[in-house]
Structure 1
Amino acid sequence: MAHIALIIGTTMGGAEAVADELQAQLEQDGHQVTATLDPELADLEAAPLWLVVTSTHGAGELPDNLHPFHAQLSEQKPDLSGTRIALCGIGDSSYDTFCGALDQLDPLLRSLGAIPLVDRISIDVQAQEIPEDQALSWLESWQDRIV
């Protein structure tokens, strides 16, 4: 089964709750998942799949805990051509910067060579459906591609 780095960006805990559900499902399916709120490039290189679950803070910004990671990526410019990514954003669609953190991470990761395994998902916390349920449905739609 696959080794997956679960990178969590959170301010109020909503993204962490979603990440916990995704981690539980992936582990139940036999994958090794290493979750982190403080991602370091050196620690992530062993994982061929990065699952990023992040909320958006303020005016479309990354949560504070992901700023150092974003800076590492921007400054060190690692070759991520062997890395697949799956991106899950949590936000409030009443803001025009809905899931803006993904708008920063997605192009940066792609510019470094990361390959999307699946289209990213932007989960609206204002929707009737529970965010964790939306994330699990998204995971179910592509988890058979994890090798």
Structure 2
Amino acid sequence: MDRHFTLIVGSVLGASEYVADAIAEALRARGYKVTILTQPDMDDIEADSTWFICTSTHGAGDLPDNIQPFAAQLEDEDLSDIEYFVVGLGDSSYDTYCHGAIAMETLMNKGGAKLMADPLHIDVLHHPIPEDRAVEWLEPILDTLD
């Protein structure tokens, strides 16, 4: 399997990193090459990799500080060669539920990237261990890639 995945993490308190680690473990178990970027930068992403954007939402619907510079890099970028997945973490008691993930998806789509599956928005009120929900969502998707 020569598919390579780059996990692009936006995290404030670490939950998105745990989710990314669980996704990476599931991908590696299938024999895929995985890179995790917690300080993502376009220059650090292999050209042929499939992106997994895994981000929480901070403040009033904002992206976490660590992924904001990366999001700015995506503005007006041609992303038509990129295939990607989105996993968002949020708390549905806020009206900005998963707005970080929605913002990243909007940027990716604006650049012409191809979304490979419906985005996963994990409500931490209902899934206190979000990484379990992410792997549960991922497994059937991986069956279609093999």
TM-score range, shorter chain: over 0.9
The amino acid that maps onto 1:99 is C
Distance in 1, matches of 2:106 and 2:72, equals 14
In the other structure, the counterpart of 1:110 is 109
Unmatched 5+ stretches in structure 2: none
The amino acid that maps onto 1:46 is A
Indicate the SS of the match to 2:54: strand
In the other structure, the counterpart of 2:94 is 95
In the other structure, the counterpart of 1:58 is 59
Displacement over 3 Å in runs of 4+: none
Distance in 1, matches of 2:86 and 2:95, equals 19
Residue 120 in 1 paired to residue 97 in 2?
no
- Report sequence identity in percent: 43
Which digits, 9 at most, give the CA deviation of each residue in 1:82-114, with x for residues without a partner? 111100001111101000101211111011110
Indicate the SS of the match to 1:34: strand
Indicate the SS of the match to 1:122: strand
Distance in 1, matches of 2:22 and 2:126, equals 18
Indicate the SS of the match to 1:25: helix
How much is the aligned-residue C-alpha RMSD, in angstroms?
A: 1.3
| TM-score normalised according to structure 1 size | 0.93
Distance in 2, matches of 1:47 and 1:36, equals 16
Kept after mapping to 1: 8 A contact 2:54/2:101: no
Distance in 1, matches of 2:61 and 2:110, equals 20
